[in-house]
Each structure stands twice: as C-alpha cells, then as structure tokens.
Copies of this chain bind each other. A is one copy, B any other.
Amino acid sequence: MNTAVSKPATHPAKVTIEVVAKRAGVSKGLVSFALNNRPGVAPETRVRILQVAKELGWKPSLRARSLSTQRSYALGLVIARNPDVLASDPFFPSFIAGVESILAPEGRALVLSVVPDAETELKTYRSLVADGRVDGVFLSDLRHGDPRIPLLAELGLPAVTLGRPDGASPFPAVTVDDTPGVIASVAHLATLGHRRIAHVAGSSTLLHGSRRRAAFAAAVREAGLPEGQTIETDFSVAAGSDATRRLLTQETPPTAIVYANDPMAIAGLGMAHELGVRVPDELSITGYDDIDICRYVYPPLTTVSAAPMVWGRAAASTLLALMENGSADDVDLPAARLVIRGSTAPPRG
C-alpha cells in the first residue's frame, strides 16, 4: 500500500535554504554565497537566487547560522544594582532605548540581565559567554580596578565601556564627561555667593561616583572656598534623604548642596521642606541627570543634563563597529551641561 500522508494543512512547509536552492536550480552553497554578498556568483545568478528567495519569503534561520558562524547576533547588558536604586534611576531605560534604536535595524537583539551583586555579575558574564548568548557587551557603572575588564579580555568578548576606566583597558570607551557639569554646578553656586557648599556623593566604589566627588572638591578649591562637606551614599533616595538631614541639622549647615543624582536631590528637597528649610531662599540644590521630573518638582531642579539615549546610540554603534572591524575608536560625547532652574538662588543675606 502506498501511504499518502496528508500534511497538517496549517503550516506551509518551512522554507529552508535547501528549498530555495532547488527552486533556483543551484546548490545550497551558492544560495548562501548570494545571500551574503560573497564574490564568485555570476551577477544574473545572484539576482535570480535573491528573486526566488524573496518569492518564497525565505529568511535564513538565525539558529542554524549561529551554530555555523559561532555568533549569536545579540549584545548583552548586565546591570548589577539593588532593585530599589535601579527603579528610581532613569538612566538605564533611556540608555536602553538608545541602544535599541541602533540594534533593531541591524537585526540584533539585546539580552538584558539584572543581578543583585557584583559577584553574580561576573558569573553572569561567564555564562553569557559560555552559552554564546551574546557577541559583545556594554560595561556600565565602572568601578575602580574593575574586575570585569580583565575578565572580558580573558574571555575574548568584545566590550565597550561607558566612560573611561581607571586602569588599562583593551576596549573602546564611549564617554560623557561628567566633570564639567559638576564643576559648572559649583561655579554657578559660588557665583551666586554661596560659600558653604556640600556634596551628597554617590558610591565611591563607582568610578563616576568618585569622579564627580573629585570634581566637586576641585571646583570648590578653584572657587577659593573652604573645603566642602561631602557625604557618601549608595545613590539611593533613602540615603540622599538621610544625608540631607545630617547636613541641615548641623550647627552651621551648608547653604547649598550638590547631589550626585536627581532622585537624591528630589529627596533632599523633600527633607528640606520637612525641616522647614526653604528652597531656594535658605538652601540651594542641584542634581545630576536632568530626569524628566526635575522640571516639575517645586522649585524646579537645577541639574546637569546628560543624554542617556544619545549615549546608548553611540555605545551601540561603537560596539557594532568593534565587532565588525576588530577595532573601534573611543568616542567622546558632548559633556553634560548645567541646566539652571529654580532650585538655586543667592544665599539669604
């Protein structure tokens, strides 16, 4: 008996490179060549193959291609943060939106990992590589002597650092210099007449945390002011609030506070209100990031505007270029700049 098995009519038989080749009357290999714009295919044959491929609606299987090329066509981002801090930080959503705007048209995907601590973070990089999930990664939140750099170098995984690391690095850096913004904040306050300016800093294990802190100290010296009081935090709003209370309940409190990020500045604003300290009359406040909400608190926040989406785009482009060419140049984006709003004013007589 001849068994005529009827296919389940629903699925129109998967189109593979084999099918395209047969239909175009050539071999698999040639279809592959034509698709990848490789030399050695007669022009009219190439056209015919691509025409057939189009007719059949063939898209090469990413999985099969991955296996033979040993690449995944995806990039990775690992974020090691306390979920609370992460949630109030608007940097990553914007950064990711920027990254996506570059990756999507290239047919690449972004693999995201959010991990609780630095140890898990290293493990995550290891397994991303071991599983071949990604062809390259973004390195954010650089730390002093960042262990991720040697690790990735050892693993041979292309990477781009967000900002310049403090040690040697084989990877291109895409940088938004945050120093000028902090310096401008202090200069702005000094010009207004403030002499006791304090700083609520981020974590000094993070490079940008300590860099902003150093910039603050330098700017205060530069302005010929007495050394500014600095309190280190973990970037969380809770810590920002606490630090503000400590600063304002001293005998001679500062007349201005420079915060290392906007959420802490907003929390500081709240604490000032609570303590009956009027902003900006009795206390001037500056933030960092220029998140959307800064414009709408009262008084609107003077802050430093970075451009995380642009940063994301530049980082993605650089990483793709690195993977394509084996090398890529560092990119220096326009420095973050001060945006003056209502939360800063001359100190009260």
Binding site for B on A (CB under 8 A): 1-8, 59, 61-64, 66-67, 70, 72, 74, 83-84, 86-90, 92-94, 96-97, 100, 104, 107, 109-115, 120, 124, 127-128, 130-133, 153-156, 158, 169-173, 236-238, 240-241, 263, 266-267, 269-274, 291-293, 295-300, 308-309, 322, 326-330
Contact = CB atoms under 8 A, between A and B. Distances in A.
Contact of A267 (B90, B97, B293): B293
B296 A8 contact: no
Contact of A266 (B133, B155, B297): B297
Given A62-B131, A67-B67, A115-B100, A271 B298 contact: yes
A127 B170 CA distance: 34
B153 A131 contact: no
Contacts of A92: 93
B83 A93 contact: yes
15 contacts: A8-B156, A59-B131, A66-B66, A67-B67, A86-B97, A104-B113, A104-B120, A107-B131, A111-B112, A112-B112, A266-B266, A269-B298, A271-B298, A272-B298, A274-B299
Contacts of A309: 83
A170 B3 CA distance: 6
Nearest to A330: B1
A92 to B, nearest CB: 7
A273 B173 CA distance: 43
Contacts of A269: 297-298
The 10 closest A-B pairs by CB, nearest first: A273-B298, A267-B296, A87-B90, A270-B298, A4-B327, A83-B97, A270-B297, A62-B131, A112-B112, A241-B296
B2 A327 contact: yes
A212 B2 CA distance: 26
A82 to B, nearest CB: 9
Contacts of A131: 59, 62, 107, 109
A96 to B, nearest CB: 5
Contact of A5 (B94, B299, B326): B326
B270 A300 contact: yes
Contacts of A240: 296
Nearest to A1: B330
Contact of A87 (B74, B94, B236, B270): B94
A110 B237 CA distance: 28
Given A87-B291, A326-B4, A266 B296 contact: yes
